[in-house]
A and B are shown apart, each in its own frame.
Chain A
Amino acid sequence: MHVLCCGGTGCHASASAQIIENFKRILAEKGLQDEVQVIQTGCFGFCEKGPIVKIMPDNTFYTQVKPEDVEKIVNEHIIKGRKVTDLLYMDPENQEHVSDSKHMGFYRKQLRIALRNCGFVNPENIDECIARGGYEGLGKCLTEMTPQQVIDEVTKSGLRGRGGAGFPTGVKWGLCAKNKCDEMYVICNADEGDPGAFMDRSIMEGDPHSIVEAMAICGYAIGATHGLVYIRAEYPLAIHRLQVAIAQAREYGLLGEDIMGTGFNFDIELRYGAGAFVCGEETALIHSMEGKRGEPTLKPPFPAVSGYMAKPSNVNNVETFANVPIIITKGADWFQTIGSEKSKGTKVFALAGQINNVGLIEVPMGTTLRDIIFEIGGGIKGGRQFKAVQTGGPSGGCLTTKHLDTPIDYDSLVAAGSMMGSGGMVVMDETSCMVAIAKFYLEFTCEESCGKCSPCRVGNKRMLEILEKITDGRGTMEDLQELRNLAAVIKDTALCGLGQTSPNPVLSTLDNFWDEYVEHVVDKKCRAGVCKKLMRYEIDREKCIGCGKCAKNCPAEAISKTNYIAEGHKLPSMEIDPAKCIKCGACMSGCKFNAISVK
């Protein structure tokens, strides 16, 4: 019997380490430590309901487990074989408990390829990975295939870069392999900087060996012996798991010299990022690894010609690599059957925001947004209305109800004015203001712009100033046109991908939520109640009993007594001085009589 407990960052933050410790202690107390194995796995994906504990082999899926629940699970389930019903997932539709994850809406439409091992193996144990087919692909390449055959197989599979732009992976490898050189590099881009995206982190935490294996395969294919992983310093757990995986692979002769006795040498080193979003761009990433400021340079030359230390280098993203070993073992023909016409395979998305089932999901390319948001995601939180979904992070755009039935792949998302990006998917309801969201992304871009080229450095700043003007209630209709003009220039003239795509959040919201912009500009109104300067708190003097709690809560001393006593009340009502009000909402959240509202 096995107890699998999620050790991803989210569950870790909600005491999963304590849960594992309790399991080990209580099982030992009952003398069951040899019968039941407790394993810390990578992310199961269902972060909303974490921490998650899964009991195998009967596949029982416990959600939101607390450290103190462990004793009950051991006594009831493990010893007596009775499921602990109140810890099972409850289907929100029919209020019935579901014990097997296969029958949950969240998992039903998913297909896990890149995440195939996440949540099934102990990522810090290479034997478990090997037992599930790890390193089989590398073995096949080294013993049965020529480097060119490996490249051809990956090309034929139709795998495209999962970092966002969607360049065909096999073609990229082929371009690099042509530049034979004594020193070449395989680089894994693990600088996942999109706010609201955690796909790569989860893969590295849950299945680090797939990355190690894929990098070695790539090394064999292009003729490189050095591998480098550029990873965010903000991901301590992922760093640790990769270090463990690399050390174990070396020990097993799967990295280092003369791998599997075939004469092929390959080793991997880690390099740490230092918090710069632009380093996700491959030329900037390479400069950062060389110990310089992470500023991009013009392409060509492409890294395939002159990359790290001016040597030919191949850069792929984590998720792209995670797909490679299984393509080799199962074959390109198998991979081709999954996905849409021009986008093969699956895509991992980090589903977040105002949605019931926040988590990590993997679906075949061509799945519709509706399936993702309403079937897998379980719909909008609190039964509110769906308003928009943001894909592609600061380079992408906001899609709306009319895009819900678009099958998503690289090309359809671009056609809809967004992009695939690395896989962040943030769902918004009517409490989000789209102008404020556009501003949020632009603030991010301005902060992260490296400053090298002026369209991005200055242009985005000007756009941000206009958006600030609009959310402060000083915008004009001319400003909206100016936003479009600036966006067009920045798209055309910025140096790198970050700059060229930075106006997308503004353009897509202008296209899809024009009315909201106009409301901010003409009516000086923010329908979501987000833009503070456009808000006005008011006390209904008929409802106010004059208790004075709001005045006590007010940090700005903006509330005072009036002379008016409403009928049936004893004390005079209160009023807010709009000139002093800082719109913090402390008065409204403290009022028990619903006398305060936002206009």
Chain B
Amino acid sequence: MATIKLSESQLNFIKDVCKAHGNKGGEVINVLHKVQGEFGYLPKEVQEVVALELNIPVSRVYGIVSFYSFFTMTPKGEHPISVCLGTACYVRGAEKVLDEIKRQLGINVGDVTPDGKFSLTVLRCVGACGLAPVIEVGDKVYGRMTPDLVKDVIAEYK
């Protein structure tokens, strides 16, 4: 993984967040939530700063980032696509929708398209089971998806 040079303002952002949480090791999850909210992901350089500020080992920060599925170390695309694979969506054919998205974008789950436009993840249940199967593009929810509709949804963002 390429190393990233954090800018002065990015460094200060992380430090401020840590400070707002009292530089307490026990607050690490809340800190990571805020930092990922700003940067979109948590590269190792960011984790090192968080560890230093909260005075805990980097291994503990990494242990948390890798444990919880909400945290990610890879950047998201401009339009992150999430396919719900909760049970309700699954039995209504979510897997076929996922396959079609993979085919159209030419990427696998967890990847970003070469142009950085789309990334693809799966999630478990957004709680909109009445609209199953459901996908999300950014914050927008698309319900009652079928493989045929995939092309149209992606076209909206091209």
Contact = CB atoms under 8 A, between A and B. Distances in A.
* Chains A and B form a bound pair: yes
Interface of A: 9-10, 12-14, 47-48, 50, 193-198, 201-202, 233-235, 271-277, 288, 290-294, 350, 352-354, 358-359, 390, 393, 424, 426, 428, 432, 437, 440, 444, 447, 450, 555, 584-585, 589
A10 B141 CA distance: 9
A358 B88 contact: yes
B30 interface: yes
B91 A276 contact: no
B130 A48 contact: yes
B5 interface: no
Interface stretch (B7-15, B73-81, B110-118, B119-127): B119-127
A275 B86 contact: no
A589 to B, nearest CB: 8
Interface string B119-149: 0000111111111101000000101000110
Given A10-B129, A352-B132, A426 B91 contact: yes
B125 A274 contact: no
Nearest to A393: B87
B45 interface: no
A428 B91 contact: yes
Contacts of B99: 584
B67 A450 contact: yes
Given A195-B85, A358-B129, A437-B91, 14 more contacts: A47-B130, A195-B125, A233-B70, A271-B29, A274-B32, A276-B67, A291-B25, A291-B28, A291-B30, A393-B87, A428-B91, A444-B124, A589-B147, A589-B148
A88 B86 CA distance: 30
Given A274-B33, A276-B69, A393-B87, A293 B124 contact: no
Given A194-B125, A354-B91, A426-B88, A293 B130 contact: no
Given A274-B29, A275-B69, A201 B91 contact: no
A590 B63 CA distance: 48
Interface of B: 24-30, 32-33, 63-64, 67-71, 85-92, 96, 99, 103, 123-132, 134, 141, 143, 147-148
7 contacts: A10-B128, A195-B85, A196-B89, A234-B126, A352-B132, A358-B129, A390-B87
Contacts of B25: 291
Contact of B33 (A47, A202, A272, A393): A272
Sorted from nearest, which 4 A-B pairs have the closest CB atoms? A47-B130, A352-B88, A274-B68, A196-B87
Contacts of B128: 9-10, 13, 47, 198
A201 B127 contact: yes
Given A9-B127, A291-B27, A196 B88 contact: yes
Contacts of A292: 64
Contact of B127 (A235, A450, A555, A585): A235
Contacts of B70: 233-234, 273-275
Nearest to B24: A291
Contacts of A444: 124
A293 B63 contact: yes
Contacts of A201: 127
A275 B33 CA distance: 11
A104 B145 CA distance: 28
Contacts of A193: 124
Contacts of B89: 196
Contact of A197 (B33, B85, B91, B125): B125
Contacts of B123: 234
B90 A440 contact: yes
A547 B24 CA distance: 69
Nearest to A350: B129
Nearest to A45: B130
Q: Which of A276, A277, A352, A424 has the most CB of B within 10 A?
A: A352
Nearest to A279: B68
Contacts of A291: 24-30, 64
Given A9-B127, A288-B29, A555 B68 contact: no
Contacts of A277: 124
A353 B93 CA distance: 10
Contacts of B125: 194-198
A13 B129 contact: no
Nearest to A49: B130
A433 to B, nearest CB: 10
A234 B24 CA distance: 24
Given A275-B69, A290-B26, A291-B28, A359 B130 contact: yes
